[in-house]
Each structure stands twice: as C-alpha cells, then as structure tokens.
C-alpha cells in the first residue's frame, strides 16, 4: 500500500482551483481539513503515492472516471421533503394560473426529496396531472441522482411528508424493507432524472420551463458565477416564469433579468 505524503498548502490551493474550474464550487479555507482528508482518501484509492500525482492525473485526463468521484466528494446533499413550505404553496397557486404543458426544472435535485415534493404539489394542484405536467430533476452529483431515481427513503427522512400524502404517494416497505418507503409511479413517472453541471456549455435550451428551483446552491459559487448562471436561466424560462431561491440567497443586485416577487421567489422580468 503506498505511503501518502502530507497534503501541503499548495495541494489544497491547487485542488480548490481545479474544483472551481470544473464545477464552479468554491471551497472556503475553513474546510481545509476536510479537503485534505478527501484528497488523501482519493489518492490512496487510486494507488498513488502523493496528492500531487492525483491532481496531475485529473488535470492531464479530462475524461477520467475519477473526475466524477472527485466532484461528488465535495458536493453537499442537504435536503428535505417540503423544505421551505411557502415555496410549494406559491408553486401550487402558480400552476393553476398557467396553461399546459407545465414544466419545472429542479436543477439541484440532490437525493430527490425536492423534486418529489414538487411532483406531489403538482398532482394536488393541477387538473389531470398525468397530461402535460413534467419535472426535470438534475444534479452534478451522480450518486445523489441515482438515489433520487430509486426514490427510496427511511420513514425518518419522510417524516415531513403529510400522512395523507405518504399513504397516497409512497409504498411502505415490509420484511427486510420495513421502516422504508418508496415513491409510487404516480410521482416517479412525472420526473426525468439526469446529471447536469450548471457550468456546462450545453444547457437544456430545447425546452422552456414555467418554474426553476435553484435553492441553496448559488451560495457555493462566487458572485460572477452566480450572475452568469442567472443570466442563463432567463432564456429557458417561459414569460412570467418563476425562479425559487434558497432562504439565504439574494439575487436582487446580481441581474436585471429577474425581479423579486416574494420571499426568495423571483419572476422573470419582461424583455
């Protein structure tokens, strides 16, 4: 087993530059201990002797499978069902005012709690939700999207789901699956899951959305990157479309493309 060299300051700074260039994620200096531990584990996992060798491999191999593991290691999947309930109340009322097809993009879907909450909300608020109602759920973390696609959660994770929704939209596990629930096809089939990097050059420009959920994601980007992403959201929203942000995010001074409509909810400005 190779003996790992100490992770130096240069390695930390270099890894931060690489991560930022690839995924736009900014790692603060207060997370150096976590970064060093992650780099050590990834280096060891590849059988390399130094973090420098590991970072060399990434920079010299743009299509290496290790890129996926590297980015996944630094993504934070903090999410919950019906998180920030007022957003789903607004979405329900908004959906009732829009013509079909009605489409939502959840661009930081994590392990799926958010897109499934969107799906339940739309099933409850839209007449004939099986026709002309769709959700695109994406995330940069490939592992998180796989979990989201499976739609399996512990009862503890599903606790925020109202009991009547839990009965209507989830199957309870039995036997060795006791204590678990799985999203039923009635909401799973509404959602298209995929991996996507918000810094990618290839955006889903072939479709338009009525609403975009990008919550608690922009805080990991610097201001110029936030502005660039916001400007790219605008063309893929239908006129009057809504952008839902996280509770600690404020886009008011970053772009003229959106105007604040309510608490962390933005409306596409007229062009």
- Residue 37 is assigned to a ligand binding site: no
- Residue 79 is assigned to a ligand binding site: yes
Q: Compute the radius of gyration of the chain from its Cα atoms.
A: 20
- Residue 114 is assigned to a ligand binding site: yes
- Residue 138 is assigned to a ligand binding site: no
| Secondary structure (3-state) at 194 | strand
Sign of CA dihedral 201, 69, 19, 195: positive
Question: What backbone torsions phi and psi does residue 256 show, to the nearest 5 degrees?
Answer: -95, 0
- Residue 198 is assigned to a ligand binding site: yes
- Residue 42 is assigned to a ligand binding site: no
Mode of pairing for the β-strands spanning 180-183 and 152-154 = antiparallel
**Spatial distance between the Cα atoms of 6 and 186, rounded to a whole number of angstroms:** 51
What is the widest separation between alpha-carbon atoms in the chain?
Answer: 62
**Spatial distance between the Cα atoms of 33 and 39, rounded to a whole number of angstroms:** 10
- Residue 252 is assigned to a ligand binding site: no
User: How many beta carbons lie within 10 A of that of residue 109, not counting itself?
Assistant: 31
- Residue 216 is assigned to a ligand binding site: yes
- Residue 6 is assigned to a ligand binding site: no
**Spatial distance between the Cα atoms of 56 and 206, rounded to a whole number of angstroms:** 37
**Residues that constitute the known binding site:** 77, 79, 83, 114, 139, 197-198, 215-216
**Residues that constitute the known binding site for S-adenosyl-L-methionine:** 77, 79, 83, 114, 139, 197-198, 215-216
């Amino acid at each position: 087993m190779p003996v790992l060299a100490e992770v130096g300051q240069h390695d930390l700074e270099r890894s931060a530059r690489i991560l930022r260039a690839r995924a736009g994620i900014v790692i603060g200096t207060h997370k150096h201990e976590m970064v060093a531990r992650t780099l050590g584990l990834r280096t060891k996992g590849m059988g390399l002797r130094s973090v420098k060798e590991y970072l060399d491999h990434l920079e010299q191999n743009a299509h290496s499978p290790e890129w996926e593991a590297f980015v996944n290691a630094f993504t934070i999947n903090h999410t919950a069902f019906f998180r920030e309930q007022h957003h789903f109340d607004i979405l329900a009322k908004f959906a009732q005012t829009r013509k079909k097809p009605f489409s939502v993009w959840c661009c930081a879907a994590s392990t799926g709690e958010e897109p499934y909450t969107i799906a339940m909300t739309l099933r409850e608020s839209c007449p004939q939700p099986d026709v002309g109602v769709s959700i695109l759920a994406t995330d940069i973390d490939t592992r998180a999207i796989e979990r989201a696609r499976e739609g399996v959660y512990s009862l503890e994770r599903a606790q925020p789901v109202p009991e009547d929704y839990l009965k209507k939209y989830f199957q309870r596990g039995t036997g060795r699956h006791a204590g678990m629930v799985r999203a039923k096809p009635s909401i799973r089939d509404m959602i298209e899951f995929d991996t996507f990097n918000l810094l990618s050059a290839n955006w889903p420009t072939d479709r338009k959305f009525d609403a975009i959920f990008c919550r608690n994601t922009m805080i990991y980007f610097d201001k110029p990157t936030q502005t660039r992403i916001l400007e790219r959201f605008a063309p893929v929203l239908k006129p009057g479309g809504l952008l839902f942000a996280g509770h600690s995010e404020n886009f008011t001074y970053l772009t003229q493309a959106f105007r604040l409509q309510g608490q962390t909810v933005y409306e596409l400005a007229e062009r």
